[in-house]
Amino acid sequence: MTAFSLNPDQTARCAELRTLAAERLRPLAEKGDPGHVNRPLVAALGELGLLEGLFTSGALDLCLMRESLAYACTEAETALALQGLGAHPVHAHGSRAQRERWLPQVRSGHAVAAFALSEPGAGSDAAALALAAAPDGASGDWRLTGEKCWISNAPEADFYTVFARTAPDAGARGVTAFLVPADRAGLTGTPLDMLSPHPIGALAFDGVRVGPDDVLGEVDRGFRVAMTTLNRFRPSVGAFAVGMAQAALDATLAHTAERDAFGGKLKDLQAVGHQIAEMATRTEAARLMVYAAASAYDAGASGIARRAAMAKLLATETAQYVVDAAVQLHGARALCRGHLLEHLYREVRAPRIYEGASEVQRSIIAKELYG
């Protein structure tokens, strides 16, 4: 027994989620238009009560949910995760009016949320945000002017958690988080054609008016809103990666056990067996680190930023390795459009970049260690 063995209820729940994803969610995902929000899929996540779990589950339960969904339907996992990322700042930092207006719609899958942090010139260096929130007269309002880029669910979301600079030349201390409905005058968006099939776009703010009632948290304290959200979700990004790695590993186990090669089965070749062993060992190590980071978050332990960064780093890099190795062991069939591994090969690349690239995670870890 390891320190992070799942109890019978957790194991049963994971199996239930895999079945739901395969039988109820994957058919909806297959009907979706790649690169666009799949609203029937999001609505189904709400009907099944999974979106409610974004706000009622601890970090470990969130990881188990994302890992299980990712194993059977990456589109469902991503749709769920993006709802959580975009709406968590409202749940954790929003006013009563903001929560009452938007969270029931998010939980039901009838409103699509988005987290708008990255910009053309401020991706990994989030403190370098340039989207300007300029005071608008004596009313206490601001006008947002600038761009956001690489925003998941843009430009089709119903509202955005937007991070803008309210204090020039103040670095991380001069950023404020705003809740911006998509229908605000001056807000426009453009979809981006990306390798990964989920919706991503750019946003343009042309004097978009926001007021005190749109602030999430405190003025000039928005960077804290962003970082607390990312610290909660980073371990579960690792869980998404582990789910993909496990799917690739299981597909490879089945393929190598059945495939005839050199007078026997592919699995009987020592080189193949050793490769499978390496894939399985790395996947389990990543899983345990994700569970450890999530459990530490739930327990309110110290070093959350370091643990979350380690979990995301190891899991996403591991998933890239495992999926790549799985493609190699499957051969050319894995490169055919529509094959599970072709799909995973496209999906697995982005998590090493979003919510903090692997290099950023290493910087966080080093800073925490020296600090």
Cα angle at 44 between 28 and 96, to 5 degrees?
145
Compute how many other C-beta atoms are within 10 angstroms of the C-beta atom of residue 324: 17
Sequence-ordered list of residues with C-beta below 8 angstroms from that of 96, at least 6 positions apart, any chain: none
Distances (CA, A) of 332 to 34, 261, 339: 24, 15, 10
Catalytic sites, residue numbers: 355
173-206: burial string, b at 16+ Cβ within 10 Å, e else: ebbbbbbbebebeebebeeeebebbbbbbbbbbe
Q: Which two tokens stand for residue 16?
A: 């239930």
Distance CA 83, CA 62 (A): 13
**Cα torsion 232, 248, 42, 146: sign:** positive
Helix/strand/coil for 86:
helix
Q: Which two tokens stand for residue 118?
A: 């990255």
Distance CA 173, CA 126 (A): 12
Distances (CA, A) of 238 to 88, 170, 252, 288, 348: 18, 32, 21, 10, 11
Distance CA 118, CA 123 (A): 5
Distance CA 275, CA 269 (A): 10
Distance CA 44, CA 76 (A): 9
